[in-house]
Amino acid sequence: MNRELREFRRLERLCLEQAALSNMDLTRSGLLKVADDCRIAAEAIEAQSPRGGFASAVQALKLALLPTRVPGRHRH
């Protein structure tokens, strides 16, 4: 799991560096989106790692802040 985490963080850094060097808006935008995806993946790996109560607390906070849907209420 550590290897995957390091790889996602490395890819995130690489994409951010390349985006900063890019002259084309479309390329820069794509690189920033990939960097964001890598960051999200790395955070998910960190949340799963058994490092103690802090990671669990962060995950619980993230879940608590997600918008929830009320079951049985559908808009037509």
Q: What is the pLDDT of residues 17-66, one digit of tens each?
A: 999 999 999 999 999 999 999 999 999 988 887 665 556 666 666 777 76
Domain boundaries, the chain: 2-65
Give the list of residues 6+ apart from residue 49 with CB closer than 8 angstroms, or none: 1, 5, 55
Q: Tell me how far apart the alpha carbons of residues 37 and 18 are, in angstroms, rounded to a whole number.
A: 15
Half-sphere exposure at residue 75, Cβ-oriented, CA atoms within 13 angstroms: 2
pLDDT the model gives residue 48: 85
